[in-house]
Copies of this chain bind each other. A is one copy, B any other.
Amino acid sequence: MGIIVQKFGGTSVANAEKIRKAAELVIKTVKNGSSVVVVASARGKQTDGLVADALELNPNPPEREMDQLLSTGEQQTVSLFAMALQAMGYDAISFTGSQIRMVTDSVHTKARIKSIGADIIHKQLDQGKVVLVAGFQGVDEHDNITTLGRGGSDTSAVALAAALGADECEIYTDVDGIYTTDPRIFKQASKMEQISYDEMLEMASLGAGVMHSRAIEFGKKYDVKIHVRSSSEETEGTIITHEVPKMEGIVVSGATVQKNMAKITLVGIDNNPGNAAKVFAHLAKAKVVVNDIVQTEVSTEKANLSFTVGTADLTAAQKAAEQIKDEVGCDNIFIREDIAEISVVGVGMRTHYGVADTMFGTLAKAKINIDSITTSEIRISCIVDKDQADEALRTVCIAFELDKPAEKRS
């Protein structure tokens, strides 16, 4: 009998009624003949409430104690979920991360999974029980509770699916799948039937936000079929899977826009080998996450070095840049906060030409100025003015026919 892992996020278990709805989805899967392992997050705003409680007592709470505190939210959900299933006539048992030996390293608040006690879960499934596992949490080798960081419950679910050899990992959420782009901006956006891990990673890191990158990386590493679907609608969602030949025919799978970013330019740094490395080592020390980097020579002696950061990191990045400025011979630091990044993603780009052409031509025709361009093997990104971002996204979506299902594009 196959195993299916089903993950329910905080909004899908926010209250008794929603927990019962989620339990019905579990029962439906059990009736279809699968063994089910449920991974659940903390209910609704419970985690926010606990964080506020902590900050009231300590503006800089110790991370070990934060993990000890926050892990209770998921523990509550899974025990309540088990009670709901039992009330509906299905045997169920809940486990904390510690109880199923979800062993992680000791990096509190962003621990990485090392091993899972799959035998503990198999034993319960073999007895015909639904097994519920508290998401987001693990335990280190010294029995300290750890948490996996943002999107941790997705990671728990995918890791469990891998460890258990599950047929599928279903991620239940408040959207019914992954769209070619953000439907709030381009309302004709089309739901994708499937998407490759690599494309989804580019989409996720660019802010599509349905699933956290780490969970997708895990899925890619262990080849877990991930199914993103709605907890309120019965329709099929989107499958995230390994790349299949059919996908190569699709040149552009999706498009994204990222608005919470800023660009920092170090104007006129000395054009010496190692200067860029110095700058980024200094930024790393200041814990700034750098996105795209562009370096352009302005003369044989001088170059301009630009990079983008999330607006949350801007103050730290600016401070770090000021500190390193003189050492790399920089004349001036220039900051733009009025920018946004438009990207198109598709594994088909590896084998198809002309994507960049179409993108730049389309933006030019719409009189949208491109500040700079970065690319990866399966992605092209353009920095544009923030107030033209939505228009730019829509223009690009129409050019690549992202309002149509993949098989109907010309």
A interface, CB within 8 angstroms of B = 16, 19-20, 50, 53-54, 56-62, 64-66, 68-69, 71-72, 75-76, 78-80, 82-84, 86-87, 93-94, 96, 98-99, 143-145
Contacts and interface: CB of A to CB of B under 8 A. Distances in A.
A232 B75 CA distance: 33
A68 B79 contact: yes
Nearest to A68: B79
Contacts of A79: 54, 65-66, 68-69
A80 B94 contact: no
A80 B64 contact: no
Given A76-B50, A79-B68, A86-B62, A57 B98 contact: no
Interface centre among A66, A79, A86, A96 (most CB of B within 10 A): A79
B62 A82 contact: yes
Contacts of A82: 62, 65, 68
Contacts of A87: 57-60
Nearest to A83: B58
Contact of A94 (B54, B65, B75): B65
Closest 7 CB pairs of A and B: A72-B72, A58-B87, A69-B79, A68-B79, A58-B83, A16-B56, A57-B84
A75 B80 contact: no
21 contacts: A16-B53, A16-B56, A20-B57, A54-B80, A57-B87, A58-B83, A60-B87, A61-B86, A64-B93, A65-B79, A65-B94, A66-B83, A68-B75, A68-B78, A68-B94, A68-B96, A69-B76, A72-B72, A96-B145, A99-B143, A99-B144
A85 to B, nearest CB: 9
Contacts of A78: 68
A392 to B, nearest CB: 46
Contacts of A75: 68-69, 71-72, 75
